[in-house]
Chain A
């Protein structure tokens, strides 16, 4: 019985196991050990060419930051449109599949661009952000958001959307909005900190 049941709920079991592992990590010494072990990496980041350019030429940092913000704006737009469509609030006259696929493509490219520019920006202020709690909350929210999109949301939407439970779709849309709101808000908070 269990061997027949388990393969059909692999994704759910994987989600529960991942949540368990994350909680175990968060409430154990492993979190503090990892935090301490990451300090040399952040010190090294400031010495890389990216770190030196970011610290020396303010104009380059500002330009990269502008690209980062534009990428975040596109990312936010893609999320708002796709989640708005899942909630049946906007673009209700356009098929779900068309909206979701177009938004996902836009999401992937803007995410890549924002990660690349984000790494460059972090190199310039690596030691500062290392000691900021809100930076780590942003990284946590970003990781959860990316994992949620690629391992939960996207696989769900690959199925026939019309046959999925509408309440599940609404839950996914609300959770997605919550997580990406947290990414944006904590990201802006980094700018106000230190």
Chain B
């Protein structure tokens, strides 16, 4: 019994770890993306306002 469940547990733990890592990395990328492009779009709007009023 133990021989069959242990590899399964290890696999489940590895899967949970990979999923948690993916959630953390994806969240940070999404936050970085929103911050970067918000700043770029704001800067562009300011430049357009300076150029064309």
Q: Is the CB of B29 within 8 A of A8?
A: no
Indicate if the CB atoms of B26 and A174 lie closer than 8 Å: yes
Nearest B-chain residue to A173, judged by Cβ: B26
Q: How far is the CB of A56 from chain B (nearest CB, A)?
A: 34
Q: Do B36 and A12 have beta carbons less than 8 Å apart?
A: no
List chain A residues, Cβ under 8 A from B15: 159-160, 163-164
Chain B, interface residues (CB within 8 Å), range: 20 to 34
Mark interface residues in A9-35 (1 if CB within 8 Å of B CB, else 0). 111101110010000000000000000
Task: Give which listed residue, B13, B17, B18, B29, contacts A175 with CB less than 8 A.
Answer: B29
| A contacts with B: majority SS | helix
A163 to B30 CA separation, bound complex (whole angstroms): 24
Contacts of A168 in B (CB 8 A): 19, 22-23
- The answer for the CA separation of A172 and B21 in the assembled complex, in Å, is 10
Taking the complex as formed, is A109 at the interface, i.e. its CB lies under 8 A from any CB of chain B? no
Asked if B13 contacts A179 (CB within 8 A), the reply is: no
Closest B residue by C-beta to A22: B28
In the assembled complex, the CB of A71 is this many whole angstroms from the nearest CB of chain B, namely 23
- Residue in B13, B16, B24, B30 whose beta carbon sits within 8 Å of that of A16 in the complex: B24
Q: Per a CB cutoff under 8 Å, which of A9, A10, A171 touches B22?
A: A171
Contact status of A10 and B17, CB under 8 A, knowing A179-B33, A182-B33, A182-B36: yes
Q: In the bound complex, how far is the Cα of B24 from the Cα of A9, in angstroms?
A: 12
B9 to chain A, nearest CB (A): 9
Nearest CB of chain B from residue A67's CB, rounded to whole Å: 28
Q: Knowing A8-B13, A179-B33, A182-B36 touch, does A171 contact B18 (C-beta < 8 A)?
A: no
Measured CB to CB, the nearest residue on chain B to A182 is B33
Task: Give the shortest distance, in Å, between A155 (CB) and chain B (any CB).
Answer: 5
6 A–B pairs (Cβ distance < 8 Å), ordered by A: A19-B28, A152-B21, A152-B25, A159-B15, A160-B15, A168-B19
The interface of chain B, by Cβ under 8 A from chain A, is 11, 13-30, 32-33, 36-37
